[in-house]
Structure 1
């Protein structure tokens, strides 16, 4: 009976030992076989693998591309306009042995802390380099700056067994204490531009009004000149007609002119004129001023 029990115990231990010696490596990971903290085997191909039970252990690491968000930091470009910048990076474990030797049991968490420090150092050095201004960071050159950060970070991350695949700047903002001053400066610049635009508009309006006024004066002057010319020509023509009429019949002309004088002098219902009866003004009324061929009408 005891021998049967012993055999069962041995069989169970053998099964447990066999099961403990077998492990599966997933296609999305890499595995290290450790013995007393030392690397004994590297398992990078997916499938079944073996280890010494109870003596060796298996440590697994993700073989996919991983993401890391860096904390926001302040950078000072060459124009001394401070910015708050944060970034995210994509990386993968390229050399699992070197990775284990670099971070030890700390694993991915410790590696990401060190990688974040590397990224922040390179972000400060690239964005704070000579010739890099805040406008450069916000322009199309931003992509080139991010690529420089990636290259520098990747060269330093090789010591951790990591490949830095990509680095992207997420936000690029002003510090809170600078926002009010920046907004005030932007408002002052916009107001100055608006004042300049209004001044230029007023200047243009003055030029247009002056041109219009000058055009009006010129048009009025030209119209007056033409009207004076027409009036003069009309007066000359009228005088020529009068002179011709006067030359044709002097008595008739004197008679016509006297009648016009009577018409102008005796207007309205209550016109009164005090004059001596023998005045020359009435020479055609009493017939004394008539010569042959001119007969006054009326009484």
Structure 2
């Protein structure tokens, strides 16, 4: 068996070394990952970082070069990530203990700052969860129980999100959304008592609305009667004979309303003079 020439063997070794160096110098960055180049424990470059104005296909993902054996690459998720929070017990302003189940979503917008402050995404999630839990307790503790069940809760969540974002920026993160999944009283007597108080409050509110409606109706009816009286007075003042006739007709309507009334009077009585026509009037 013929031995390979020494030059060929040396070339093969050099090629293998080059291939090994190239394999350690080229890194593939996926579309959904941000890459940080770490040299001697310090970040020296980034690739495919989050940009709000980024359009589809304009990312920095792909193959990148690094110094082999000198630099390492850390990957940070570029997607929006969930942040689950353990159910919290909060005391509302009306002295009701609430069990609040909330969640949030966040993304890493500055991977270098995240690496320098907390190091990993897991530790970042823990830190954000602690901040959000504290803010939820503070904000929800300022509200009544019925507010947590009303549309005003959306504005309250926006306030919490803005407050948490101010703290999250120090860790290179951004809170995208905060939501309350459930806000309930603990089961048992406190829950039933709260429902009874809410029912009583709604009944009192309904009674108040009905009383205001009845008062307004009386005012409107009185104003209408006064306007009618003024109209009648003006009309009757212009024609006294018509007024006398109208009053007689009203009296007849009241007297003979049931259809069976019998009246025994003298034909020349004042009450019956409208039956005699104009000739019977004095």
| TM-score of the pair, normalised by structure 2 | 0.62
For 1:268-283, list aligned pairs within 5 A: none
- Residue 123 of structure 1 pairs with residue 136 of structure 2: yes
User: 1:38-88 deviations in whole A, cap 9, x for unaligned?
Assistant: 112111211221001122111111111111111111111211111011211
For 1:152-191, list aligned pairs within 5 A: 152-176=163-187, 179-183=188-192, 186=195
Give the drift of 1:184: 5.2
- Residue 78 of structure 1 pairs with residue 93 of structure 2: yes
- Residue 113 of structure 1 pairs with residue 134 of structure 2: no
Q: 1:89 to 1:39 in 2, by over 3 A?
A: same
Q: 1:26 to 1:111 in 2, by over 3 A?
A: same
| TM-score of the pair, normalised by structure 1 | 0.59
User: 1:239-295 deviations in whole A, cap 9, x for unaligned?
Assistant: xxxxxxxxxxxxxxxxxxxxxxxxxxxxxxxxxxxxxxxxxxxxxxxxxxxxxxxxx
Give the drift of 1:2: 4.6
Q: 1:75 to 1:3 in 2, by over 3 A?
A: same
User: 1:98-118 deviations in whole A, cap 9, x for unaligned?
Assistant: 1111112xx111100000001
Structure with greater Cα Rg: 1
- Residue 59 of structure 1 pairs with residue 74 of structure 2: yes
Out of 113, 116, 121, the position equivalent to 1:101 is: 116
**Matched residue SS, 1:139:** coil
- Residue 145 of structure 1 pairs with residue 156 of structure 2: yes
Give the drift of 1:180: 2.5
Q: 1:78 to 1:32 in 2, by over 3 A?
A: same
Give the drift of 1:140: 1.1
Give the drift of 1:122: 0.8
Gaps of 5+ in 1: 195-225, 230-299
User: 1:171-204 deviations in whole A, cap 9, x for unaligned?
Assistant: 101124xx3233256469979x99xxxxxxxxxx
User: 1:194-226 deviations in whole A, cap 9, x for unaligned?
Assistant: 9xxxxxxxxxxxxxxxxxxxxxxxxxxxxxxx9
Give the drift of 1:29: 1.5
For 1:138-287, list aligned pairs within 5 A: 138-176=149-187, 179-183=188-192, 186=195
Q: How far apart, CA to CA, are the structure 1 residues paired with 2:39 and 2:112? A: 14
Q: How far apart, CA to CA, are the structure 2 residues paired with 1:78 and 1:185? A: 13
Q: 1:11 to 1:83 in 2, by over 3 A?
A: same
**Matched residue SS, 1:111:** helix
Gaps of 5+ in 2: 49-59, 204-259, 263-282
**Matched residue SS, 2:31:** coil
Q: How far apart, CA to CA, are the structure 1 residues paired with 2:145 and 2:38? A: 50
Q: How far apart, CA to CA, are the structure 2 residues paired with 1:29 and 1:75? A: 37
Q: How far apart, CA to CA, are the structure 1 residues paired with 2:15 and 2:91? A: 70
Q: 1:22 to 1:112 in 2, by over 3 A?
A: same
